[in-house]
Chain A
Amino acid sequence: MNLSTIIGKTSKFGIYIAFVLLCVVLAILSPYFFTVKNIINVLNQVSIIGIIAIGATIVLISGGLDLSPGAVVAVAGVMAAHFGHPGEYPLIVPVLVALVTGLVFGMANGVLTAYGKIPPFIVTLGTMTIGRGLALLACDGMQVIDLSDEYISLANSEFLGIPILIVLFALMFAVFQFILTKMRFGRHIYAVGGNETASHVSGLNVNRIKVIVYMLAGALAGFGGLLLSSRTVVGSPIAGQGYELDAIAAAVIGGTSTTGGMGKLTGTIIGALMIQVISNGLDMINVPSYWQQIVKGSIIILAVYIDMRSRNKGNN
């Protein structure tokens, strides 16, 4: 068996192999890396960005692009926090407020791209900017503090001994994995992203499918915003800065096509973990934070390069 057949056989697992390699290297460099405590810590930190990355993945698969989730995190967090002061409203109210905020943004993104035929990059760049403004407006530029205990426990409690954020992340993964692989709607998402014309002629309601996809992604970002405000005990208008790019990066590292029609949630999870593990590992081996960013960027490019190469080898 020569090298190219080995690469051919492993092509589907390129990114997983890169991830395992990274973990091995970090484990060698720091004995603390492979402890249960650290693993739980990494998972806990990855959860919120992971939830948002699920949304980024379905939007990319459907042939779209969403730059707004970071801003939605901020708006939803601030709005929810307004309804989260002690003794005012039951917990369900801030939860719904966050979700509805996300849905509204998603709907705007979806309607403008699908029916308005405006490129998604432009639409979501616009809603991202609007979102940042709205977040500041909604709290007059001040952080919203004084949150109720239930609100805070949303992201800071444990369920059967596991941090609740990890449980919620796993739950969202399960739900969307089910939608993508087992539901008719999941098939529609892949078809629309793969070939809009063919999907339309096959009788699919392409525009409606796109709008729903953006709304789901919006809801996930809104939910992420709620969890972030709970975890940090404050509704901040500048929360979620850069999350949209981390989410897209996680999806793309995980093998989701930026031109639509292809992608897997399991890949996205690995992608998100990869980004998180890099920061965590670099912290642990005391790499200064300026250097961290440089190293992080390089590793991301390297990982995708390994993945792409092994794929191309598989085809030719």
Chain B
Amino acid sequence: MVKDKCILKMEGISKSFPGVKALNNVQFALEAGEVHVLMGENGAGKSTLMKVLAGIYTKDEGSIDLKGREVDFHHPSDSIHAGISMIHQELMPIPHLAVAENIYLGREPLTFVGTVDRKKLESWTTSLFEKLRIEINPWSLMNDLSVAEMQMVEIAKATSWDSDIIIMDEPTSAITEQEVDNLFRIIRQLKAEGTGIIYISHKMDEIFEIGDRITVFRDGEYVDTCRIEGLERSRLISLMVGREIKDIFPKTDCPIGETILKVDEISLPDVFENLSFELKKGEILGISGLMGAGRTELVETLFGIRKKSRGTIFKEGKEIRIEKPSDAIENGLAIVSEDRKEVGLVLKMSVGRNLTLTTLKDYALFGQIMQERSESKSIQEQIEKLIIKTAGDGQLVSTLSGGNQQKVVIGKWLLNNPDILIMDEPTRGIDVAAKAEIHKLICRLACQGKGIILISSELPEIIGMCDRVLVMHEGRITGELDRKDFTQECIMHMATGQCLEE
């Protein structure tokens, strides 16, 4: 390693939170112009280390050496001024401001009378977006963007600082393949300019495609750093998990029964019209498509979160009325939603309280008085079953690592014992080991005769898990494929609107 190429050296870093030692004497080094991947299971301490570097948390111990100078950040602005910017795992948009205002928050161009120079702001944003090939209106409110679009805005914001070091904490967890390709193009461009990039992701394919070196953490401890070239996948997994994992897509063939759910000509104004499909018992039905194809809107409408303008829904041949989520729940539906922060969890409540939120009635005497013993028994079971890493069921859910938060959302709906389970990006941000667990769980549920709808932007997941897939493009179902006909190319073609049926 050439010495002066090393722009960042973190050594002996420790950080504790009440009840957990998140980092224990870890190290990390970054060279100019490299993409250094940081990997580890959910809760391994990756985000924590990055937040220390970004001045959000203060370290308990250790030293940070930035381009030969020892630094100690106490505030995010310290870190930004030292040339470090970060794309956070949990997006932090300011919802009522426009895209452009979000990006240049705190450094808006001013006119000579001191008001914000909107023209300049717009031209800055437009040229930034042009460079990054992002197509979002600078004056859209953050509120109105999809999670994927918000993610792209965050990426744009991080690059807009012209930093020497850019931290990307799971930047691709919410975006589709096309945008991932675009992001990688941007990363290569930054690399060529000498920017050092710290890249966190649970997606193996990405890591092998974009990464130069990799550092692995396990349970807050440093494990190893190595070159990615020539690294075996199985070796990487065992570094991370401490054991081997056989199969990430443990698809078992379950008997597929009769139709459990039939959706007939359902419409949501301005998004989709007259969509019809069926779901069978024991079937895993995938829905694939690009960002903005209307997949999330479709299942949210099905669940009564959005108001359909027309359409009928049948369960086991009988028409059911779903006007609001509680109707859907009563009819045995459950939804693991895409947006865990806004829709999936009550961040201000504990892990336990979140897990039992939809099933409180089951533990209530006379429908009201909580039987805490039986409730906490279920909570414990669920924490163990899903291997949720927490200091205790009383821990605030907002302080769990991202992947563990996702497991809480899944656990909450499983407690409801649904007949039909809708999963919108259920393994977003989940590590390989847990992903394999969740896939196993999905298969087990299917074999119990439940119907499962699986939305995923990861094609391997769709191909590896589903019995049948619907492909959507701009609010239309552009194709339907059976398991035997699945290929990446075929699904991609349909997703971009080119019908390719034989």
Contacts and interface: CB of A to CB of B under 8 A. Distances in A.
Contacts of B372: 182
B349 A191 contact: yes
Interface residues of B, number: 34
Secondary structure at the A interface, as helix, strand, loop or mixed, is: helix
B345 interface: yes
Interface string A1-37: 0000000100000000000000000000000000000
A203 B17 CA distance: 33
A190 B58 contact: no
Contacts of A170: none
Interface string A185-200: 1011011011101111
A201 B353 contact: no
Given A183-B369, A183-B370, A195-B347, A190 B337 contact: no
A110 interface: no
Given A195-B345, A195-B347, A184 B58 contact: no
Contacts, number: 83
A184 B345 contact: no
A16 to B, nearest CB: 18
Given A187-B357, A191-B357, A204-B326, A199 B346 contact: yes
Contacts of B185: none
Contacts of B360: 184, 187-188
Interface residues of A, number: 28
Contacts of B328: 203
B357 A182 contact: no
Contacts of B342: 195, 197-198
Interface string B8-21: 00000000011000
A184 B360 CA distance: 7
B343 interface: yes
Interface in B324-357: 324-326, 328-330, 335, 337, 342-349, 353, 357
Contacts of B353: 187, 190-191
Contacts of A184: 360-361, 364, 367-370
A7 B350 CA distance: 22
A168 B435 CA distance: 55
A190 B370 contact: no
A201 to B, nearest CB: 5
A183 B357 contact: no
- Count chain B CB atoms within 10 A of each CB in A183, A191, A195 and give the residue with the most: A195
A195 B341 CA distance: 9
A41 interface: no
A314 interface: yes
Contacts of B314: none
A261 interface: yes
A316 interface: yes
Interface in A148-183: 182-183
Contacts of A193: 348
A256 to B, nearest CB: 12
Contacts of B248: none
B343 A194 contact: no
A201 B337 contact: yes
A86 B47 CA distance: 71
A38 interface: no
A262 interface: yes
A232 interface: no
Central interface residue in A8, A184, A199, A314, by most chain B CB within 10 Å:
A184
B366 to A, nearest CB: 10
A202 interface: yes
Contact of A198 (B18, B326, B346, B361): B346
B57 interface: yes
Given A187-B360, A197-B343, A203-B358, A182 B305 contact: no
Nearest to A262: B348
B347 A203 contact: no
A201 B412 CA distance: 12
A194 B325 contact: no
24 contacts: A8-B18, A182-B369, A182-B370, A183-B368, A184-B364, A184-B370, A187-B353, A187-B360, A191-B346, A191-B353, A191-B357, A195-B342, A201-B335, A201-B337, A202-B325, A203-B325, A203-B328, A203-B329, A204-B326, A205-B326, A257-B348, A261-B348, A314-B18, A315-B17
Given A201-B325, A201-B335, 19 more contacts: A183-B364, A183-B370, A185-B368, A187-B357, A190-B346, A190-B348, A194-B349, A197-B343, A198-B345, A198-B357, A200-B324, A201-B337, A202-B325, A203-B328, A204-B326, A257-B348, A315-B17, A316-B57, A316-B58
Interface of A: 8, 182-185, 187-188, 190-191, 193-195, 197-205, 257, 260-262, 314-316
